[in-house]
Structure 1
């Protein structure tokens, strides 16, 4: 195994780490917002279940390693460029507190780098359409519809019950539903890094074309995403838990249950869904199910714009990084230095407005002085 292959594997695990802290909100934002779980306990549970979930399936990994691009036309340097595009987009959206898709950042980076290096014929656009684009459009709508229906029914059934007891019961239920989302996240998102590392090993000749991920790849990918999850993506947790809609335990339970169902089903079928889009759609659906006006559509619009930009933006950065990387060792070094430098810059900028487990549930000030709406209990 040559040096470049090792560098690419380490970079893939670095992406997996950013995927973990970027997407912690998917599983635990609503449970933290409703105080069903303390923040540090929530991310700890999520990290463990992300690791367990990584061992549930390899169908998504096979889709990525054998389906999106022609493994005979890409090299480790190309994959390195694609990973750089994905990591930088993850860090930008994390800094802005936007729950964009780590999955689509990865796909965009790989597609852009492959296209610029080997031409459009090296990208399997039919697979991209059926396995990525169509599920990306359908999954948040399905999760939102299920969550809206579930939320409406919950409030309808419990409207005459003592609300204090209802909230307490659903807070306990959220521990289970949030845990299921964490398990589902590990089963879907950790596999994406498994698929990338497997693709690297195939292009380097260490594995035969069509091979699944070896056990060490499964374990290392699960461990990297678990460590990232435990770090806690507090900025995005605040957005999902507080800025999209006011979350009550009933809504949190409905959103988490619908998210887990959609994600686990997609993992079984080999669809590399964006868990971020699924959970954000479910949270919006839970707000619609309670009261349409409770959804903060301005925030939802910003998130939707980030979704639309993710794949093409990561593709552009991936293409530029890939073009430099395939030029030789000097190109790889330049890309690596740029990645480290920009990552450090984003971290420094994040410290100016620090969000952590101590203030993640603090209410953010309203943008105007207009009277604020009241919320029914």
Structure 2
């Protein structure tokens, strides 16, 4: 029974990673498509290539370790992992369908935590006993910090670029910025792959431990990162056009210059957080970066009504995913 359940969990985890790819494809390609540097088809191939390339660089799996330790090991069962994945996939598909750029990362973490809390409650424990609060606080704090950091960095980068190119001919500058956007979008895709693929790696790892295939002292099997990076790359190739529209044009009108600023800021922010083992949202980060480049023009250049709606989606993602996972766990517990 455990073996069958483990296979189901791994398949669902890989499916979530694939969905994460097309759900978050907009993060890497929205600006490069909206500025017409690449066609949508070219853009997703470009992003997918660098999503997978991250496999060869991010070999310490620090973000995966943080996700794996969100729930205390004693409260992790196969049913907990299964419920968390089902809830995360459900919320991701819902937000994708309605074009809401919510966080796949926080959906997964919220679902995992919600299922763990439900397990704790059913077994006479308090909710907080199920969570490693240090890791949870780190994740929650960067819901606010990641977009702010991205915004600040993008403002600085954009202002530097504007001042450096002040005396350039507009046509020449535009041509160079479009070339630079290929580099900046590749960097963002690379950082996205390195950060987001690891989150599912952490979930598969705890499933392997919970099913006694490996112990918590063992290293992650090599097939896990290869499968996860491949899944997110294939997902990115499938695109996420509903969210591309929101990210690429509805927040603020983005030029090639501003696309370079936003994507570079997003890549830097993700690189910093990965270094410190913090599983942040790529969606939150690049949204903050896009807002930043809008602010360099004027405050009114940002469509704040759209932005406020996005913030509400961010706020609701973890609690909604946690509640949904709790309900799924109750159902699974009755039948399995």
* TM-score normalised according to structure 2 size: 0.94
Give 1:155 shift: 2.4
Q: Distance in 1 between matches of 2:250 and 2:156?
A: 21
Shift of 1:139: 1.0
1:125 and 2:133 equivalent?
Answer: yes
Equivalent-residue separation in structure 2 for 1:186 and 1:44 (angstroms): 13
CA distance in 2, matches of 1:244, 1:164: 25
* Contiguous gaps of at least 5 residues in structure 1: 330-377
The answer (yes or no) to whether the contact 1:147–1:289 under 8 Å persists in 2 is: no
Q: Judge conservation of contact 2:251–2:302 (CA < 8 Å) in 1.
A: yes
Report the counterpart of residue 203 of structure 1 in structure 2: 210
- Confirm or deny: 8 A CA contact 1:78 1:325 kept in the other structure: no
In structure 1, the residue matched to 2:286 is 279
Instruction: Provide the rounded CA distance (Å) in 1 between the counterparts of 2:217 and 2:251.
Output: 42
2:76–2:206 CA contact under 8 A, matched in 1: no
How many Å separate the matches in 2 of 1:150 and 1:86? 35
In structure 1, distance between residues paired with 2:205 and 2:120: 19
Mapped pair 1:63 → 2:66: yes
Which residue matches 1:366?
none
Residue 100 (structure 2) pairs with residue 109 (structure 1): no
8 A Cα contact 2:22 2:238, kept in partner:
yes
1:74-114 CA deviation, whole Å, 9 max, x = no partner?
A: 21111110111111111111111111100000011011111
With structure 1 as the length reference, what TM-score do the two structures score?
Answer: 0.84
Q: Distance in 2 between matches of 1:252 and 1:152?
A: 13
Bigger mean CA offset, 7-16 vs 155-164:
155-164
Superposed counterparts of 1:18-167, under 5 Å: 18-55=19-56, 56-57=58-59, 58-65=61-68, 67-119=69-121, 120=127, 121-130=129-138, 132-167=139-174
Matched position secondary structure for 1:2: helix
Structure 1 consecutive aligned stretches of length 4 or more whose deviation exceeds 6 Å: none
Q: Name the CA distance, whole Å, in 2 between partners of 1:326 and 1:124.
A: 23
Contact 1:198 1:212 in 2 (8 A): no
* Per-residue deviation, 1:210: 4.2
Please say if residues 100 and 310 of structure 1, whose CA atoms lie closer than 8 Å, have aligned partners that are also in contact.
yes
CA offsets 1:277-328 (integer angstroms, 9 cap, x no match): 0011001111111222211111101101100000001111111111211233
In the alignment, structure 1 residue 260 sits paired with structure 2 residue 267: yes
Partners of 1:211 and 1:122 in 2: CA distance: 22
Task: Confirm or deny: 8 A CA contact 1:71 1:202 kept in the other structure.
Answer: no
Partner of 1:348: none
Give CA-to-partner distance per residue, 1:233-266, whole Å, 9 cap, x none.
1110111001000000110000000110110121
Structure 2: segments with no counterpart, 5+ residues? 122-126
Which deviates the most, 306-315 or 283-292? Answer: 283-292
Aligned length: 327
The CA distance in 1 between the partners of 2:335 and 2:91, in whole Å, is: 24
Q: Give the CA RMSD over aligned residues.
A: 1.2
Cα distance in 1, alignment partners of residues 116 and 257 from structure 2: 45
Conserved 8 A contact 1:110-1:318: yes
Distance in 1 between residues matched to 2:219 and 2:66, nearest whole Å: 10
Task: Find the residue that maps to 1:44 and give its secondary structure.
Answer: helix
The residue matched to 1:318 in structure 2 has which SS?
helix
Paired with 1:291 and 1:248, the residues of 2 have a C-alpha distance of: 14
CA–CA distance in 2 between the matches of 1:52 and 1:202?
28
Partner of 1:374: none
